[in-house]
Amino acid sequence: MEDNVWYFALGFLAQGLFSARMLVQWILSERAKKVVSPTIYWQLSLLASILLSVYGWLRGDFVIIFGQMFSYYIYIWNLNSKNHWKDIYPVLRYIIVFIPVIALGYVLFDADVSSNRLFNHIPLELLLFGSLGQIIFTCRFIYQWWYSRSRGESVLPFNFWLLSIIGSLITIAYGAFRQDPVLIIGQSVGFITYSRNIWLIMREQHGKSIEKQTR
């Protein structure tokens, strides 16, 4: 029971950082009257991703780890596209880049034990359901990466937030089945900001449409 307290403390810290990035992004977007992609959003995302992956391992939950596997490097790409990746001390940059590789090597070193820890205690249908939510979350960052590359700058477009809402709802349901307060509370907070950003984008697009009509 005492171990679970520490697990949850780490998980809530990670989700707190995820929520903080959303709060900062929300405040800056409100000030700009449009959705923005601040550097601190990606910095907090990177740190929170590492902590949540550790929490997922301690909880023996593959779904949580799976959700961080691909978006991790997209966080780095966004920092680099905003010319802030090189601001990090070189040795620390290499450590950050190789953390997933080292973690994968650790898992593969004792594959049987790792498999039992991450898969055997979760029903297959629940595992697939939770993984679907994480795949959607991953797709939002793949889409964001593609969209941003096509425009030459880091952008958080409408479909990114739409996919966020869908993935959030699935993850909340998965967290309820798993009785995981970290997932439930963390995603519930995110759901509010996802919805607000969609509203801001729609308002901005509506304003541009009216402006064109009055010309």
Residues 6+ apart with CB under 8 A from 158: 198, 201, 202
Distance CA 36, CA 29 (A): 5
Query: pLDDT tier at 213 (50, 70, 90 boundaries)?
Result: low
- Which among 68, 127, 75, 77 is positioned nearest to 100, based on CA atoms? 68
| Helices assigned H by DSSP within 120-180 | 124-151, 158-178
Distance CA 136, CA 168 (A): 9
Predicted TM-score (pTM) of this structure: 0.83
Compute the half-sphere exposure of residue 113: CA atoms within 13 Å on the CB side of its CA. 6
Share the mean pLDDT of the chain: 87
- pLDDT tens digits for range 110-152: 888 888 888 878 888 999 999 998 889 888 888 998 999 888 8
